[in-house]
Homo-oligomer: A and B are copies of this chain.
Amino acid sequence: MDQKILLKESDIPKQWYNLAADLPTPLLPPVTPDGKPIGPEMLAPVFPMNLIEQEVSTKRWIDIPEEILNILYRWRPTPLRRAVNLEKYLGTPAHIYYKDESVSPPGSHKPNTAVPQAWYNKQFGIKNLVTETGAGQWGSALAFACKLVGLSCKVYMVRISFDQKPFRRIMMNIWGATCIASPSNETNAGRKILAEMPNTPGSLGIAISEAIESAVTDSSGKTRYALGSVLNHVLLHQTIIGLEAKKQLKIAGEKLPDIVIGCAGGGSNFAGLAFPFTADKISGANMEIIPVEPTACPTMTRGPFAYDFGDTACMTPMLAMHTLGHAFIPPPIHAGGLRYHGMAPLVCQAIIEGLFKPRAIDQVECYKAALLWAHTEGSICAPETSHAIAATIQEAKKAKEEGKEKVILFNYSGHGMMDMLGYDAYLTGKLAPYELPDTELASAEACLKQYPKAPQRKSGKW
């Protein structure tokens, strides 16, 4: 059996899978701060209607337009690889497979949704997309997609990343996007914050506020906003990952995996791999599905399930999700993509149902896992991805203890070529374990009390 299982372009899935169709309990609707459900039309200034339709859809399968597939073929289907060398090193009877999403030109899973988002906006007559980015993985993916589809692209990038990590900013420039350090003087939100805190390093919450303001205030009507995770349609587009992986596991001679693992910041790469398998679990398959987050930002494992805003400035609708509070400032860990205060509502609802068992792992253990990975499998993963690898190693060791030949599947969400400084900090002993103090959680809960309460609906059937 080959170490990498490849699919032909003609084998690519032709539909996305929508977990909302199969969730035992329907999702809670987004609401306004006074608790009123938000209808599709209220989102129209922010997103094009064709994407809003996907956002609220409960159809199980949604066709992928051929024009989108034609762009995805540049790097899709992605390889499913077997980590034979890590297996050997660990002496585990487990079969470890990973879906390699690092092969896209921007180097992560993000283009799986950036391309459809750009394409649907263009179909709707939109000319410009605006977004925000932290370390730059999403911003570079959207810049890439806009260039290929033919839209202009503007990215508000958290100022400290803009200054300290110029490489992804340059990537965006290569693909023709404008990249602006946030907070900026271009928006009211930005000007207000700069007036109060001229030396602020910025935050993702501020950048989201600026990007949304920039999109909705453009008088041409040809500008919309794009988000790289959290929302239903974003997760939908990512399910191509798990749908491909299913076909590939079959080629490898495996049945369904026993364990499915992905790191989770906003939830999109985890959901992309896990949702198609979640359908099997709902239908009765025996499977553990594990979203992994850093102990420094323990949204799923310690954050309450509550209505909260997506951004710091409270401009977005309120979403029912596990959250550390929209005012939460995560410590500056190197896995920039896992520092979001909230989590995708679809993922949260499945956690409540008992379908997923979230796990938090400290970044020091994660870097240790990333090093072991580089020394056995040979590739250098993104710091985000290292969380999935650390959980995989935990499970592979457990399988060894139990003497069980389990099939473990995880999502290799991105490469670490742009993240060398984090590795350097680890290698030179500058990283210490970090556990979020209880006091921080208490203040998050207090902050959320003023808003409508999300019903707690535990099913626990799984």
Contact = CB atoms under 8 A, between A and B. Distances in A.
A374 to B, nearest CB: 5
A73 B398 CA distance: 28
Given A73-B2, A166-B420, A167-B420, A427 B375 contact: no
Contacts of A167: 417, 420
B74 A374 contact: no
B73 A166 contact: no
Given A6-B6, A9-B2, A417-B418, A170 B378 contact: no
A123 interface: no
A427 B374 CA distance: 33
Contacts of A107: 417
Interface string A413-435: 00101101101100100000000
Interface in A125-176: 144, 147-148, 166-167, 170-171, 173-176
A148 B378 contact: yes
Interface string A353-371: 0000000000000000001
B105 A174 contact: no
A19 interface: no
Contact of A176 (B166, B375, B423): B375
A78 to B, nearest CB: 11
Interface string A85-110: 00000000000000000010101000
A296 interface: no
A379 interface: yes
A380 interface: yes
Nearest to A371: B174
A25 interface: no
A379 B170 contact: no
A8 interface: yes
**Size class of the contact patch on chain A:** 35 or more
A424 B173 CA distance: 8
A50 interface: no
A217 interface: no
Interface of A: 2-4, 6, 8-10, 73-74, 103, 105, 107, 144, 147-148, 166-167, 170-171, 173-176, 371, 374-375, 377-380, 415, 417-418, 420-421, 423-424, 427
18 contacts: A3-B9, A6-B8, A74-B377, A74-B379, A103-B103, A105-B378, A105-B379, A105-B380, A107-B417, A147-B374, A166-B420, A167-B417, A167-B420, A170-B421, A170-B424, A174-B371, A174-B374, A175-B374
